[in-house]
Amino acid sequence: MKNNPLISIIITNYNKSKFIIKGVKSCLNQKYKEIEIIFFDDNSSDDSLKKIKDFKKKNEINLKIISNQKKKNSTSPINQMIAVNKSLKYVKGKFIFLLDSDDFFHKKKFFEIVRIFERDDNKKLIIDLPIYKYKKKEIKKNYKNISFKNKWPKFPPTSCMSFETKTLKKVIKKINFRKYPNLAIDFFLAVYYYVILKNFYIHKSHLTYYRQLTNGTDSIYLKYRTKKWWIRRKEAFEFLNDLLVKNRLPANKGLDFVITNFLNKIL
């Protein structure tokens, strides 16, 4: 790439003081250097804010810190969506990389992803593959045959997502995320780009370390075993079908949909 475009990394954080410097350093230690970092702290009760401010003071880096002084919402997914929304106002880069503050990037990530974007102007969302990071081991996760037609899809998490900035700003404005308080930002965006924009590219390289924590946000959404999980699943169908109907596409109301609605009525 002859002229490296500026890229923006949005890091959203809540009480992940133990991990935040690792995440920021993974951005700074990249082969690709034309970056800006926007760090959004969502009113953490630990020393996250002090730690990131001290790090910025000691290092000459392009790092903007946004501190949310008061939370107004009850669910983590809504808070994260608001964090990204507010951070977008400060973005100057041509492309955006999302990063949860407990995750971190492979040192070649920016170079590989930007090269793909620059080679094909039609790509608006690129998702790389995660490396599940446990305390004592790492596991490379692969995703095959992603589809929203026959079964509920699985796709890589938020920190694996990279976007062309102009399109992302337009898409987020079209999503009424407050209507679905249990849905995560990765689901909203993956569904919209896949179903509506038909622009969903999986890069077959493992470039994101996805930390597995026992007290993470998803711990309250244990698959099949909690009421919260079934509520979130119902919201997922509602969001998907709202999009489909608005765009004059057939709704997804198969057996999975029927079972999910039934269980939400009796739980």
pLDDT tens for residues 118-170?
Answer: 999 999 999 999 999 998 999 999 987 666 655 566 789 999 999 999 999 99
The predicted pLDDT at position 149 comes to: 58
8-state DSSP, 220: G
**pLDDT at residue 4 is higher than 70:** yes
Position with higher pLDDT, 171 vs 1: 171
The predicted pLDDT at position 155 comes to: 84
* Residue 218: φ, ψ to 5°: -75, -5
The predicted pLDDT at position 220 comes to: 67
The predicted pLDDT at position 219 comes to: 61
Helices 255-266 and 227-246: angle between axes, nearest 10 degrees: 130
Q: CA torsion sign, 237 to 238 to 239 to 241?
A: positive
Whole-prediction pTM value?
0.93
Position with higher pLDDT, 244 vs 103: 103
Q: Which of 124, 167, 160 is nearest to 141 (CA)?
A: 160
pLDDT tier for residue 69 given thresholds of 50, 70 and 90 = confident
> Which pair of structure tokens corresponds to residue 153?
């899809």
The predicted pLDDT at position 151 comes to: 55
How much of the chain, in percent, has pLDDT values that exceed 70?
A: 91
The predicted pLDDT at position 72 comes to: 64
Among 51-65, 90-104, 125-139, 146-160, the minimum mean pLDDT is found in 146-160
The predicted pLDDT at position 250 comes to: 86
